[in-house]
Amino acid sequence: MDEIHKKIKDIRLRNGLTLKELSEKTDLSISFLSQVERGASSLAITSLKKIADALNVKITEFFETESNNNYLVKIEQQKPFKIEGSDFTYVRLSGEFNGRVLEPMLVTLAPNQKRTQTFNHPGEEFYYVLKGAALFNVDNQEYLIRQGDSLHFPSTCSHFVENVLDEETVLLCVLTPVIF
């Protein structure tokens, strides 16, 4: 429990938030948050949950130790999976460690895969075409990206992707925030 106050401050600073901004997101006073970060005040679990939500981290991150680090992801650990409601196939490429903010994945689009839904959410997205081509629509602007091309945009923009080819397309995707 002694390290929670340090982790809160580290994550807040890493996210570029001031105490005032964290206060506005949590409805906790600046002076209280300052005391928490200095270890001068105890913290109820409900307040910790508010802070975790405002910092976009799981509450368990405050209790994890650095010994959970797993930087290497071997090819045999990279298992394809699908998400309910999505036709994409994903392969998670990220290591495991506290404070991770990037979510790197391989995304495979089936031949002639059409748009299934439009997204917009906090964060950023970066795509690099490893194989094939993809048609992205970002804020109603179309971008046809082919093998070797990349696209980087704020995820708050409405966006979707389609495979315009008769063969599968494979994308390297790096996004924030961490979702898996």
Confidence of residue 3 (pLDDT cuts 50, 70, 90): confident
User: Could you give the angle at which helices 30-38 and 19-26 cross, rounded to 10 degrees?
Assistant: 110
Domains identified in the chain and CATH numbers: 3-62 (1.10.260.40), 75-176 (2.60.120.10)
Q: What is the pLDDT of residue 18?
A: 93
Contact call for residues 126 and 150 (beta carbons, < 8 A): yes
Residue 56, burial from CB neighbour count under 10 angstroms (0-12, 13-18, 19+): middle
139: its two tokens: 């804020």
- Quick check: 26 and 50 in contact, CB under 8 A? yes
Using pLDDT thresholds of 50, 70 and 90, give the confidence band for residue 124. very high
List pLDDT tens digits, range 65-101.
655 578 888 999 888 888 766 778 999 999 888 778 8
Helix (H, G, I), strand (E, B) or coil at 32: helix
Taking the alpha carbons at both ends of the chain, their separation in whole angstroms is: 25
Whole-number Å distance between alpha carbons of 40 and 100? 27
Q: Which two tokens stand for residue 79?
A: 């298992």
pLDDT in tens, 25-53: 999 999 999 999 988 887 888 888 899 99
Average pLDDT, the chain: 89
Which pLDDT belongs to residue 1? 47
Q: Which residues are bridge partners to 172 per DSSP?
A: 106, 128
Please determine, for residue 116, whether its predicted confidence score (pLDDT) is greater than 70.
yes
- Residue range 130-160, pLDDT digits in tens: 999 999 999 999 999 999 999 999 999 999 9
